[in-house]
Structure formats: structure tokens, C-alpha cells
Copies of this chain bind each other. A is one copy, B any other.
Amino acid sequence: MFHGVVPPLCTPLTENGEVDTASLERLCGFLLDAGVHGLFVGGSTGEISQLTDEARATALRTVVGTVAGQVPVLAGAIDTATPRVLAHARAAQESGADAVVVTAPFYVGVAPPETRAHYRRLAAALDVPLVAYDIPSNVGRKLSVDLLAELAHDRLIVAVKDSSGDLESFQRLLEATHGTGVACLTGSENLADLALLRGAHGVVPGLGNVDPHGYLRLYRAARAGDWAAARAEQRRLTRLFGITTVADPARVGPISAALGAFKTALVLRGVVDRPDTLPPLLPLTESETEGIAAHLADVGLLPEADARN
């Protein structure tokens, strides 16, 4: 069910910080036209941790409505602990999500048996399929391959999104879940071709908002076994990924830098109206915006003339 290129959608905003549904619809259309295999609403790239419950619902309903069943829609049900996640997951299900994506508990300090209990309880309580989201940079703990394999073999999850950046554990995951039907998706923008070479079922790249066609070329090359073409495309995308390190790290953290870059690029490409992010994220500067334009021009996503304005 889950495979291919599944971008974690950015959430375009209006000037007063509300979900810009028109821009979001355009973004969905842009990605669907490019041929993506699914959409992930409410991941870290979607500023899930900054969106109020109302904004989460608006974003998800907008996407579900726009997609209209063409591809599966995954929805993040991201919160600290089981009861709060359950509430989000049920809301997502009601809004039409095809699966909900859930991290390990955070803020509350837990031992491994408690993380296991978290997923088992959610699986038991939910009717919608569950995707495990491994994102240690945000939650402070890694989902163990042992736990994920157990959940996979017990048919409690349908997929794993691995945003750990650890390709070695990802390949152990692929090995350990082999034959269960569980889809292993990598969140890595820059190791996508290698993850596919190892057997990944799909990629969930934040940069896929900006250049879905690139990831689709990469994915199709990989599926066709043309690894040289996949690698060439990967190299180009990695160059483009340079947009995420344009911002000054003394001023803004890595999330402002990356999400600001994605949204700025989408504005420059004419897909969404504004590059705004939600607080505590801070906006990029004018010169940083110019740096992003230069990167886009460099990989052919912006006419050089545009990049200079």
C-alpha cells in the first residue's frame, strides 16, 4: 500500500499564520501532477509541532479533499503520550486519513517496555493503520529494530518511516521485517538511492516538496535497476539540498533553516504564496532567500534571470 515517493507536505501559511488552503491545494496538485505515490500530512516538515489542533485538521481535510483518493494520505498523530496521540489519531481517521504516523513517546521519560506498550495500545485502540515514525533527533530516543520487527510480525504496523539517518539500522530493519509486508520508508533526502538499493519501499523526503520530479526520476531509475541514473539524480538532489544550510546557524536552528528553505523555494517556483513558518521558527533573511534562489538556478529549477532578482 505504501511505496514510492511520499513527500511530507509543507504547510503553507497565510500572513496571519493560518493554513493557506489555496496554496496547500496548489502544492498537492503540483505533487500529484509530478506523480507522487502518496502524501504525508503533518510530519515534522509539515510543522506538525507548531500547528494547533484546528490547523492540523484544516490541513488534513484540505489534502484529503484535494487528493480525493488518487493516492494514500498519511497523517501524523504526533504528541507526547498515548492518550494524546490517540485523540489526534481518531481525529485524523475522521478526516479521512489512510494511515496515522506515530513517534515514540517524548517529553515523558520512558523505558523500552513503555514504548512497546505505547504502540501496542494504539494499535489495539485504532481502526486506521499505524505507521511507526523513527525520528530520534526530535524525540530523543531511537525505535529499536527489535521492537519494530515485533510490531511488524504481529501485524500492528503497516509501515515504518525512518528519519534516523542511520542507514545501518535501516538495513537491519529491512532484514528483520522481510516478508511481513511492512513498508520501510526512508526520510533521508541524500541517501535515498542507497536506501532503495538496500530494498527500501519508498522515500519520504522533505525536499520532495521542492523537486518532486527529481525524486520520481530517482525512484523510477531505482525500480528499473538503473543505479547509475539513480545516483546521478541523487547527486543533483543533494546539491539542491544545500538550500537547507543557507541560513545562519547562530540565528536559527536546523528546522527554521530547512523548512524556511523549502517554503522559500516553493514561493520562488510559484507553487505557494508565502514562505512563512510558525513560531518559534524564525523567517529567513533577504540574502538567505537569494542564496536559495541561486541553488535553485544551479540545478535548473529557476531561470538564472529569476534567481538574480
Contacts and interface: CB of A to CB of B under 8 A. Distances in A.
Chain A: interface size category: 35 or more
A224 interface: no
Contact of A108 (B118, B191, B281): B281
Given A166-B165, A194-B167, A280 B110 contact: yes
Given A197-B231, A280-B81, A107 B251 contact: no
Contacts of A78: 107
Given A107-B78, A138-B109, A52 B255 contact: no
Interface string A117-150: 1100100000000000000011110000000000
Contacts of A84: 49-52
A105 B78 CA distance: 15
B253 A111 contact: yes
A67 interface: no
A163 interface: no
Contact of A190 (B53, B140, B171): B171
Nearest to A251: B113
Interface string A216-260: 000000000001000100000010000000000111111110000
Given A49-B108, A167-B167, A197-B197, 11 more contacts: A52-B84, A81-B280, A107-B139, A110-B280, A110-B281, A114-B252, A114-B281, A114-B282, A115-B280, A117-B280, A197-B231
